[in-house]
Amino acid sequence: MRVILASGSPRRRELLAAAGLDFEVIPSPAEEIHDGALGMAALCEENARLKAVAVAEKHPEAAVIGADTLVFLEGEPLGKPKNLDEAASMLRRLSGKRHQVCTGFCIAGPAERLRTFHCVTDVFFKDLDNSTIDLYIAKTNPLDKAGGYGIQDHGEMIVSRIEGEFDNVMGLPVGAVIEALQEIGLPKGAI
């Protein structure tokens, strides 16, 4: 079965490659929605579905993986910051608090099969002062990451602990994705 990742995220690509999955990358042209009123799971799942379906329409024989990861602080979604000031503001808001990282993913499979899931991980931030935030931003690129941070990029500077899947915080709960692919027909030996 041909597998397509409908995302240009280098982290998702790394995670799937490390799992041994044979796949190709075709970034989705779908526009994300930003309606926090939908709630955490529904918003991430809907964005993942939009991304997967947009690519699956052109590749109906493939299993297409769409994904969307957002940081939620007290029920409010934090997407990717528009600039470094907004990234610093997000990190200040997350300082000393617990928040959730939700990744919705959708597998649009052959014969128009559609499976949508989500995974949530609790992330606990250290108390951050402005110098730590400035140093973190100087060492990373916070602009392409929900919430302005990547746990895999000097996460030890800002994160005290997590409860849940580390790879979910990076952008894709790989074990759950592979399980979903197997449910729609990917042979176990393909991984």
Q: Give the active site residues.
A: 68
Where in 79-112 does DSSP place strands (E)? 98-109
Q: Which residues, listed in sequence order, are joined to residue 100 by a DSSP beta bridge?
A: 72, 122
Distance from C-alpha of 30 to C-alpha of 49, rounded to nearest angstrom: 10
CA-based radius of gyration for the chain: 17
Q: Residue 188, class by beta-carbon neighbours within 10 Å (0-12 exposed, 13-18 middle, 19+ buried)?
A: exposed
Distance from C-alpha of 74 to C-alpha of 51, rounded to nearest angstrom: 26
CA 31 vs. chain centroid, Å, equals 15
Q: How many CA atoms lie within 13 A of 63 on its CB side?
A: 22
